[in-house]
Amino acid sequence: MKITLATKITIARIFLIIPTVAAFIVAELARDQRTLYVAMLVVSAILFAICCATDFVDGHLARKTGTVSDLGKLLDPLADKVIIVVMMFLIVLFDDGLSMNGVYLHNALIIALLSGIILSRELLISVFRSIAARKGVVLAADIYGKAKTTCLDVGVTALMLAGLHPAVGWIGTIVFYIGAALAVFSGVNYIVKNKNVFDEDGAENEVNTSDCGADELEKTTQSADDGEDA
């Protein structure tokens, strides 16, 4: 089996999750050592940003070169979900700077609940897309999914750095909240606009241009294949 360049980038992104998580954990365990703490937080945030940025790169490359592969379709969504889920778990676990110096005491709880909603939404969309795929229906991505993905990526990056300054925590919180709202809206919009998928006699190869916002979505179809974030 030949591994395409786009898939190699995806695989590299998966391996990059390990040092990203390791750097963040080291930072949180070294809060008393300010220099190490700041350095490791910044390194972790940079690596996370690279993971997010390459999500757009591998998908664009796959479409541009016509090298969309089944392996890429499997690994790309996996990489996207794993890095976000793991980082949100760690952010809530360590609760570093999320209260903005005690001004917003319940922020970590709300972020945990929103993370659960976002994960549930992704699982629902994955099932929905599987049903569509079995019926030969092609679902394309739209602006809402892309906006959702961008907001969550930026929000999580800022939340990782929340311990450095309250202002960073507020920025991360606001952007993450917006991303969570877009996740819910885009998910509902995606299903409603593509409700024909539930038709028993749904037409095969029907192209719908209303996607709930997913880079991931694009990566799972031949016409818009390179991400999976509906």
Residue 223 resides in a domain: no
Residue 22 resides in a domain: yes
**Is the per-residue pLDDT at 230 higher than 80?**
no
Tens-digit pLDDT profile for residues 9-30: 888 989 999 999 999 999 999 9
Q: For residue 45, give its domain range.
A: 5-218
The C-alpha atoms of residue 130 and residue 11 are separated, in whole angstroms, by 23
Query: Among 35-49, 67-81, 99-113, which is the least confidently predicted range?
Result: 67-81
Indicate which CATH number applies to the domain containing 173. 1.20.120.1760
Number of domain units in the chain: 1
Residue 86 resides in a domain: yes
Arithmetic mean of pLDDT, 126-146 = 83
Query: Among 111-115, 157-161, 186-190, 201-205, which is the least confidently predicted range?
Result: 201-205
Residue 97 resides in a domain: yes
The greatest distance separating any two alpha carbons of the chain, rounded to the nearest whole angstrom, comes to 64
Residue 197 gets which letter from DSSP?
G
**Is the per-residue pLDDT at 77 higher than 50?**
yes
Predicted pLDDT of residue 222 = 38
Pick from 138-147, 180-189, 213-222 the range whose average pLDDT is largest: 180-189
Residue 137 resides in a domain: yes
Q: CA of 8: how far to CAs of 13, 57, 72, 188, in Å?
A: 9, 11, 9, 33
Predicted pLDDT of residue 119 = 94
Residue 229 resides in a domain: no
pLDDT band (50, 70, 90) for residue 5: confident
**pTM of the predicted protein model:** 0.84
Q: Is the dihedral of CA 25, 28, 33, 37 positive or negative?
A: positive
Residue 227 resides in a domain: no
Arithmetic mean of pLDDT, 76-103 = 92
Residue 15 resides in a domain: yes
Predicted pLDDT of residue 47 = 97
The C-alpha atoms of residue 87 and residue 204 are separated, in whole angstroms, by 38
Predicted pLDDT of residue 198 = 86
